[in-house]
Amino acid sequence: MEYIKEAVALIFSGDRELWQIIGTTMLMSLFSTGISALIGLPSGVLIGGSRFPGKGALLRVTNTLMGLPPVAAGLIVFMLFRGVGPFGRLHLMFTVPIMVIAQVLLITPVVTGLSAAAAGEKSKLITETAKGLRLSRTKRLALLLRECAPQFVSIVLMGFGRSIAEVGAVSLVGGNIQFKTRVMTTAILLEANKGDFRKALALGVLLLFISLLANIPAYSLQKKIS
């Protein structure tokens, strides 16, 4: 209860840095989750709802990438975008966009793998219905996408949860720069390293509260479309 009061006090303290941290966190998380959903959901439906050579191997690779360590993802992005890397001339290191790229690399396999599993479960029933209605392959996949919509809400929410709670990759490529790339998780790590555990725990409670706020509309949407 004490740390909840501390978190509330932080919110109403008018701390400019805190609101910048919250804003950066939400910007990074929403963009990375949205991009990952745009890539992962259709890819998952295409993989889970189709039959093609190499499908099993592709699913195994996707499932392996679902467990990609955040620091490894951050290192890959760091090597690609550092000054002497192939994309170094873009000068994205230690910015919010590079943090989004690292997050997309982490979240997309999760969204793809889970949506492929969800689509695979309903694929047989949808295929039989589509054959009876003589629907084209494109319309069948669109129907499958619609039928899996409630599961997709949970999948996207899971992706958002991973994004907002991640620290390794964003710390490596973002640098945890004050008033620029510092987010909730890196701020918690910083306060813990400074020995200010009260503030670190209060920030942790605040992060949980933000996650709860994201869950409320997602749950309502899931009930509406189910």
The DSSP annotation for 53-112 comes to TTHHHHHHHHHHHTT--HHHHHHHHHHHHSTTSTTGGG--TTSHHHHHHHHHHHHHHHHH
* pLDDT tens figures, 158-177: 899 889 988 889 999 999 99
Enter the CATH code of domain 2-121+149-225.
1.10.3720.10
Highest mean pLDDT among 73-77, 153-157, 220-224: 73-77
The reported pLDDT for the residue numbered 145 is 77
Residue 226 has pLDDT above 70, yes or no: no
Averaged confidence pLDDT in the chain: 85
* Contact criterion met (CB below 8 Å) for 101 and 172: no
Across the range 136-160, mean pLDDT stands at 82
Residue 44 has pLDDT above 70, yes or no: yes
Residue 106 has pLDDT above 90, yes or no: yes
The reported pLDDT for the residue numbered 220 is 76
Q: List the domain boundaries for the chain.
A: 2-121+149-225
Across the range 128-143, mean pLDDT stands at 72
